Amino acid sequence: MSTRTPLMAGNWKMNLNHLEAIAHVQKLSFALADKDYDAVEVAVLPPFVDLRSVQTLVDGDKLKIKYGAQDLSAQDSGAYTGEISGAMLAKLGCSYVAVGHSERRQYHGESDELCNAKVKAAYKHGITPILCVGEGLDVRKAGEQVPHTLAQVDGGLKDVPAEQVESIVIAYEPVWAIGTGEVATPEDAQEVCGAIRGRLAELYSQELADKVRIQYGGSVKSGNIAAIMAQPDVDGALIGGAALDVDEFVKIVRFRDQ
Ligand SMILES: O=C(CO)COP(=O)(O)O
């Protein structure tokens, strides 16, 4: 029986300005009860410009909700126009940062090498990376989803030491299931999440692999989360669209009630 606490993280993507973020987090924290946080870790990943407002709210009201960013720079500081460093995110109290989301890989050309540098930058500043991996439709149709995804895991974790990796979160997000309503079956999710855990055992140890939380992401909703969470190697979800609806997100957090 796994002792891993599920992590339900809402990736807001480029939605909700800082005023909307305050209203959203207030509503969310009001809806969640202490027993929810006992069972599940809850996090939101707002846009950068919302983070200071979310920090002020979370600190001021001593909320149990965690928060983080959707990306970070691989660099610490300097002439990198438009970039945000891990040090800046740490100062804002971020617990998590997504690395290598498929939208960053697709629209910003992020490679496994860059993701690896970002994972290291996150750890350097004490922030837990959520390393996002997953195949596109062509790869899925060719039946190559496992080797494709494991290559992304290998690339993202290259030379990252065990004492850091044991706290990492890996999000398996098949690209064809993101924002399409096309959810992977629970068995599809388990196949790749189980393979990721197996790879962690090969690269590090079974003990480490058993500690790492592996999320599923892609069209997660209150109606499909329970079956996905019933899979032995799925330890939470990275939720896009459904996380923008507080009631829906709360139902996802309470997946055990269904
Ligand atoms: O990309 C995702 C989360 O990071 C998933 O997005 P959707 O839940 O909107 O499919």
Choose one of 130, 178, 214 to mutate for the ligand 1 pocket test, by most ligand atoms within 8 angstroms of C-beta. Answer: 178
Active site residue 173: yes
Per the domain annotation, does 217 fall within a domain? yes
Whole-number Å distance between alpha carbons of 186 and 20: 33
Answer whether 8's CB lies under 8 Å from 252's CB. yes
Per the domain annotation, does 106 fall within a domain? yes
Per the domain annotation, does 181 fall within a domain? yes
Please give all residues whose beta carbon lies within 6 A of any atom in ligand 1, as ranges: 11, 101, 173, 178-179, 217-220, 238-242
Whole-number Å distance between alpha carbons of 105 and 117: 14
Instruction: List, for residues 180-223, the tens digit of each pLDDT value.
Output: 888 899 999 999 999 999 999 999 999 999 999 999 999 999 99
Per the domain annotation, does 161 fall within a domain? yes
Mean pLDDT of 65-93: 98
Active site residue 41: no
Look at residue 19 and tell me whether its pLDDT is greater than 60: yes
The pLDDT of residue 1 is: 43
Mean pLDDT of 115-122: 98
Tokens 């899979």 label which residue?
231
Per the domain annotation, does 1 fall within a domain? no
Instruction: List, for residues 35-61, the tens digit of each pLDDT value.
Output: 999 999 999 999 999 999 999 999 999
Per the domain annotation, does 230 fall within a domain? yes
- Select from 128, 145, 139 the least CA-distant residue to 93: 128
Per the domain annotation, does 2 fall within a domain? no
Q: Whose alpha carbon is nearest atom 6 of ligand 1?
A: 240
Give the total number of structural domains in the chain. Answer: 1
Q: Which atom of ligand 1 is nearest to the CA of 98?
A: 4
Per the domain annotation, does 45 fall within a domain? yes
pTM above 0.95, yes or no: yes
Instruction: Please indicate if the annotation marks 64 as binding a ligand.
Output: no
Q: Which atom of ligand 1 is nearest to the CA of 181?
A: 10
Answer whether 132's CB lies under 8 Å from 109's CB. no
CATH of the domain at 118: 3.20.20.70
Q: How far is the CA of 101 from the centre of ligand 1 (A)?
A: 10
ipTM surpasses 0.90: yes
The pLDDT of residue 182 is: 84
Mean pLDDT of 106-115: 98
Contacts of residue 171, defined as CB under 8 A and 6 or more positions apart, other chains included, come to 98, 130, 131, 132, 133, 134, 214, 215, 216, 217, 238
The pLDDT of residue 2 is: 63
Structural domain containing residue 162: 7-257
Instruction: List, for residues 146-176, the tens digit of each pLDDT value.
Output: 999 999 999 999 999 999 999 999 999 999 9
